[in-house]
Structure 1
Amino acid sequence: MSNQFEGRVAFVTGGSRGIGKGVAKRFAEDGAKVAIIDVNEEALNETQAEFKEQGYDIYVKKANVVHSDEVESAMEEVVSQFGSLDILVNNAGVIRDNMLFKMTDSDWEQVMDVHLKGSFNAARAAQKYMVKQKYGRIINTSSTSALGNRGQVNYSTAKAGLQGFTKTLAIELGKFGITANAVAPGFIETDMTKATAERIGISFEDLVQASVSQIPVGRSGKPEDIANAVAFFADEKSSFVNGQVIYVAGGPKD
């Protein structure tokens, strides 16, 4: 534990499991007050109990990033409870994988809504507080899929879109002491990658093994690996790092 984020408030969307939870935990361990919104009530309650047991200051609320009013009211509550909103991590995501010819309108729309509209809603709501306090860190979760991935035309498009979104926020908000950057994870062991294994009809162990064989560092990623990169972007000292996308994938991606 360190006090790297002492006095800071971090707001993580989709923070009850997987990468989001790993990121929230890292902030809490390093002294931040943490707010999590998610649509999974059961996982939210579990995470809240776990964090409280460890003595961390946490706010949780069931809210859907696709609905701007739900995001805005959660942020209002967080600012009134914790006093500020310094770091936003847009992490909420879904997958609706399929080959293009089998993909439905709803598969496409749902992925666009959660990743793109959700990140837009949260960033627009958060910047009001950040501009006022002349400080903020926005970190968006992209993916190596942004470079193209079979069976993920919707997800790849959304994750590439988030990179353009990040760079534009960086340009618009930089003069207010706010930076915007993105982390693009490679293969990370989470419930989402377990769902991918199920979809393609192989065991999770086989998927991990197949993925690791393609990763130069010879191991799969864990949520903590992403949390480390997020913490770098969120650090007060990283104020000259803006509009960047860092691939956290155990090897080079471009």
Structure 2
Amino acid sequence: MSKIIVLTGAGGVLCSTMAKALAKMGHQIAVLDLRKEAADAVAAEIKQEGGNAIGVSGNVLEKESLQAAKKEINEAYGPVDILVNGAGGNHPLGTTSNPFFAMEDLQNKEDGFKSFFDLDPKGIEFTFNLNFLGTLLPTQVFATDMVGREGCSILNISSMNAFTPLTKIPAYSGAKAAVSNFTQWLAVHFSKVGIRVNAIAPGFFLTDQNRELLTNQDGSPTDRGNQIIGQTPMGRYGTPEDLVSTVEWLCGDGASFITGIVVPIDGGFSAYSGV
């Protein structure tokens, strides 16, 4: 049965792939992104392939913006059945320069160098807001359509960092751990009104956000990239298509008794001790 699905952050690589896959299943897709041109571009690709989609502008940190987006979607399609909270990201001001603190870091005055003690509260606040509030606020707005109806669900995007935090990115790791916890909390909270809530936890996927961190200009892996591949038993980065089957499953009626889980999609990263 065709459903109305809203995906936030769907102008990006990973969520646009999810949007296209869900459209191919016959669902009506609202591609929501802060960048209207990116949302429109993804919607146009879906329509070119015979799907049904609209691009919608929306800021996941502004409730009024989300309410305006919801009104537009409701007028185009009707009440929302499924929400995929895909917006998220990191900020360099919440990232340390080195993985491990060293005594000499206290005297390091290099431009741009950040030890733990130099982390900027604004960068940490930005990261927490984008990932956690950027999940909570869209849920507050769009889940009002779902209460008391059958076949409705919410899918959040967690991360490997929520299981075991990566070095250098404490703000992002903490924010994604909050998303996992919120997923469980919300699943229980909505359990009596027919809304399922689950999450996926992607491992390592090359995106515009992390490409410079994981690969050199010639395409070869950086030291950090080598570390990640070395800790991934399947020996490669994920591709956006690797997310599709799990997203389709959790959004589908075949998962009607599944709520409150966080599914790793990580090539074995979370199972590997390194030895």
**TM-score normalised according to structure 1 size:** 0.90
Q: Does 1:27 align with 2:27?
A: no
Q: Structure 1, unaligned stretches of length 5 or more? A: 1-5
Q: 1:114 aligns with which of 107, 120, 130?
A: 130
Q: CA RMSD in A?
A: 1.9
Match of 1:39 in 2: 34
Write the mapping of 1:212-251 to structure 2, written as runs, cut at 5 A. Answer: 212-251=229-268
Match of 2:220 in 1: 205
- Provide the C-alpha distance between the structure 1 equivalents of 2:83 and 2:56, rounded to a whole number of angstroms: 15
CA contact under 8 A between 1:139 and 1:182: conserved in structure 2?
yes
Deviations along 1:62-82, one digit per CA (max 9) or x if unpaired, are 211000111122122212211
CA contact under 8 A between 1:139 and 1:233: conserved in structure 2?
yes
- Provide the C-alpha distance between the structure 1 equivalents of 2:213 and 2:39, rounded to a whole number of angstroms: 23
Match of 1:3 in 2: none
The alignment partner of 1:176 has SS state of coil
Match of 1:131 in 2: 147
Q: 1:70 to 1:228 in 2, by over 3 A?
A: same
Shift of 1:219: 2.1
Q: Which 4+ stretches in 1 moved above 4 angstroms? A: 201-204, 207-210
CA contact under 8 A between 2:160 and 2:266: conserved in structure 1?
yes
Shift of 1:212: 2.5
Give the counterpart letter for 1:185 in structure 2: P
- Provide the C-alpha distance between the structure 2 equivalents of 1:134 and 1:221, rounded to a whole number of angstroms: 33
Shift of 1:188: 0.8
Task: Please identify, of 144-153 and 46-55, the stretch whose mean Cα deviation from structure 2 is larger.
Answer: 46-55
- Provide the C-alpha distance between the structure 1 equivalents of 2:24 and 2:47, rounded to a whole number of angstroms: 12
CA contact under 8 A between 2:151 and 2:253: conserved in structure 1?
no
Give the counterpart letter for 1:120 in structure 2: L
CA contact under 8 A between 2:155 and 2:200: conserved in structure 1?
yes
Q: Structure 2, unaligned stretches of length 5 or more? A: 97-115
The alignment partner of 1:253 has SS state of helix
CA contact under 8 A between 1:166 and 1:243: conserved in structure 2?
yes
CA contact under 8 A between 2:40 and 2:56: conserved in structure 1?
no
Shift of 1:216: 1.0
Q: Does 1:193 align with 2:207?
A: no
CA contact under 8 A between 1:19 and 1:227: conserved in structure 2?
no
- Provide the C-alpha distance between the structure 2 equivalents of 1:252 and 1:214, rounded to a whole number of angstroms: 6
**TM-score normalised according to structure 2 size:** 0.84
Q: 1:71 to 1:232 in 2, by over 3 A?
A: same
- Provide the C-alpha distance between the structure 1 equivalents of 2:252 and 2:218, rounded to a whole number of angstroms: 38
Shift of 1:85: 0.8
Q: 1:176 to 1:204 in 2, by over 3 A?
A: farther
The alignment partner of 2:192 has SS state of helix
Identity of aligned residues (%): 29
Give the counterpart letter for 1:179 in structure 2: R
Shift of 1:45: 3.1
Deviations along 1:203-244, one digit per CA (max 9) or x if unpaired, are 653145553332112221011112221211111121111100
Rg bigger for which structure?
2
**Greater relative contact order, per chain length (Cα 8 Å cut-off, separation 6+):** 1
Q: 1:224 to 1:122 in 2, by over 3 A?
A: same
Match of 1:53 in 2: 48
Match of 2:108 in 1: none
